[in-house]
Chain A
Amino acid sequence: AQKITQTQPGMFVQEKEAVTLDCTYDTSDPSYGLFWYKQPSSGEMIFLIYQGSYDQQNATEGRYSLNFQKARKSANLVISASQLGDSAMYFCAIISNFGNEKLTFGTGTRLTIIP
């Protein structure tokens, strides 16, 4: 079984500041992948970034980076220079690779960027 925990139901951040969204995970599989998705108020789910369990370096995609600490089982999302358009729900998710490729989501964090 796999589980994602997001402990921050909501966050308010000043525009242009960096923000860290927390994510911890639990899995018994040695091989897994971690994802972050963004869900704006329009409702669609937008893929942001991926980190494989065997990746040596932290993943980065533009202003998004993933702070992967395997021993702590954490995969925090860092957004640099936040923008008003970053206001949305953010979901952390995990998938494991033992023939059961179900993506399990956390409960999400609602991020609000303040002008």
Chain B
Amino acid sequence: DARVTQTPRHKVTEMGQEVTMRCQPILGHNTVFWYRQTMMQGLELLAYFRNRAPLDDSGMPKDRFSAEMPDATLATLKIQPSEPRDSAVYFCASGAGGGEDEKLFFGSGTQLSVL
């Protein structure tokens, strides 16, 4: 049963610390998306990759956030330094790059709390 795997599932950290979230997309999928979900803003797209190349990260605060795909099986989202307003659920999703019928499969999310 193929699925998107995200780690950690939960993360509690102090303001100023670095946070790294990891995502293993479904094998064979060539698009990877990072979304952030909060009560106030709903689901926001932070960044997305196709064939490991970043295509759009306009939704991401560049001064503290960075997203990379070091290889096809791993995507990372880093926050440095973290701030309390970064507290949210961060979802990774992957797709087969089929254009308008691109079904995205989501991971279980990382619940981040920055104190």
Question: Are A45's CB and B103's CB within 8 A?
Answer: no
- In the complex, whether A104 has a CB less than 8 A from a CB of chain B is yes
Interface size of B in residues (CB-CB distance below 8 Å): 27
0/1 per residue, A29-67, Cβ < 8 Å to B?
A: 001110101000001111100101100000000000000
State the main secondary structure of chain B at its contact with A.
Answer: strand
With a cutoff of 8 Å between Cβ atoms, the chain B residues found around residue A31 in the complex are: 99-100
A-B contact pairs, 30 of them (CB 8 A): A33-B101, A33-B102, A35-B103, A37-B106, A43-B89, A43-B108, A43-B111, A44-B108, A44-B109, A45-B109, A47-B103, A52-B100, A52-B101, A95-B100, A96-B100, A100-B55, A101-B31, A101-B97, A101-B100, A101-B102, A102-B33, A102-B48, A102-B56, A103-B33, A103-B45, A103-B102, A103-B104, A105-B35, A107-B42, A108-B42
Contact of A50 among B33, B91, B103, B106 (CB under 8 A): B103
With a cutoff of 8 Å between Cβ atoms, the chain A residues found around residue B95 in the complex are: 101
Residues on B lying within 8 angstroms of A by beta carbon are 31, 33, 35, 42-43, 45, 48, 50, 55-56, 89, 91, 93, 95, 97, 99-109, 111
